[in-house]
């Protein structure tokens, strides 16, 4: 008999991070969105590649460097083919690579719209008093832990914070904060439900 219920939440970000950049056409800072297109320029033995972003107001483009003057012999042929084809899996991975984006753009906006897919890992055989949620986050998402819990458990956010203050909600790894964004491998434990 178990009074523990364990579930896995796979949290899939819907909107890739968007850099704020000075737009030449608008004449001020605007949000730019990935167009999911890659431009490749092979010049002799070297390759440049950019992920094309577009201004969300006027459509003007910004080329985010992916490869810069990279010797063609050092590039994995499959990767080069994916670049030429603007393969959706690759453009998605690049668009969600916040660290990579940060190297080219200063201010970046992240979004909290995400799809949560629940998978039950252990069935409840008695009235559940403890719920463990394992978080799987394939790409970084700007969704805070308290907002995620409030939304999925249909509780007000103040209640989520109340549970944490009472020790009835613990977030692992220890020291993780409810107001921080949810990370891959986080474990949320609720007791005395
Ligand atoms: Zn613009």
End-of-domain residue from the set 109, 130, 162: 109
Angle 106-24-100 from CA coordinates, rounded to 5° = 25
Q: From 128, 114, 101, 121, select the one nearest 31 (Cα to Cα).
A: 101
Residue 58: its pLDDT value, please? 98
Instruction: Say if residue 22 is in the same domain as residue 105.
Output: yes
Selection from 13-22, 119-128, 172-181 with the highest mean pLDDT: 13-22
- Segment 170-190 shows an average pLDDT of 94
Reported as a pLDDT band with limits 50, 70 and 90, residue 128 is low
β-pairing, 28-43 vs 46-55, is: antiparallel
What are the φ/ψ torsions at residue 144 (nearest 5 degrees)? Answer: -75, 150
Q: Is the pTM of this model over 0.85?
A: no
- Encode pLDDT of 31-54 as tens digits: 999 999 999 999 889 999 999 999
Interval between CA 24 and ligand 1 midpoint (Å): 7
Residue 140: its pLDDT value, please? 86
Interval between CA 15 and ligand 1 midpoint (Å): 19
Interval between CA 170 and ligand 1 midpoint (Å): 44
Interval between CA 98 and ligand 1 midpoint (Å): 22
Interval between CA 33 and ligand 1 midpoint (Å): 11
Interval between CA 183 and ligand 1 midpoint (Å): 33
Interval between CA 30 and ligand 1 midpoint (Å): 6
Residue 193: its pLDDT value, please? 72
End-of-domain residue from the set 109, 143, 162: 109
Q: How far apart are CA 85 and CA 132, in angstroms?
A: 42
Domain that holds residue 47: 18-109
Domain CATH for 171: 3.10.290
Interval between CA 142 and ligand 1 midpoint (Å): 24
Interval between CA 28 and ligand 1 midpoint (Å): 8
120 Cα distance to chain centroid: 23
Interval between CA 53 and ligand 1 midpoint (Å): 11
End-of-domain residue from the set 78, 109, 140: 109
Instruction: Say if residue 101 is in the same domain as residue 169.
Output: no
């Amino acid at each position: 008999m178990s009074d523990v219920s364990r579930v896995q939440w796979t949290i899939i970000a819907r909107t890739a991070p968007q850099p704020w950049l000075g737009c030449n056409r608008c004449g001020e800072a605007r949000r730019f969105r990935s167009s999911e297109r890659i431009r490749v320029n092979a010049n002799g033995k070297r390759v440049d590649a950019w992920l094309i972003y577009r201004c969300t107001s006027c459509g003007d483009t910004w080329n985010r460097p992916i490869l810069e003057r990279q010797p063609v012999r050092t590039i994995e042929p499959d990767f080069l083919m994916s670049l030429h084809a603007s393969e959706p899996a690759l453009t998605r991975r690049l668009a969600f690579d916040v660290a990579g984006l940060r190297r080219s753009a200063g201010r970046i906006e992240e979004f909290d719209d995400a799809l949560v897919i629940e998978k039950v890992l252990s069935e409840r055989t008695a009235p559940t008093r403890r719920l463990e949620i394992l978080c799987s986050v394939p790409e970084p998402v700007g969704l805070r832990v308290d907002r995620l819990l409030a939304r999925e458990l249909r509780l007000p956010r103040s209640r989520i914070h109340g549970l944490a203050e009472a020790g009835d909600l613990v977030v692992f790894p220890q020291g993780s904060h409810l107001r921080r964004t949810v990370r891959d491998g986080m474990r949320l434990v609720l007791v005395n439900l």
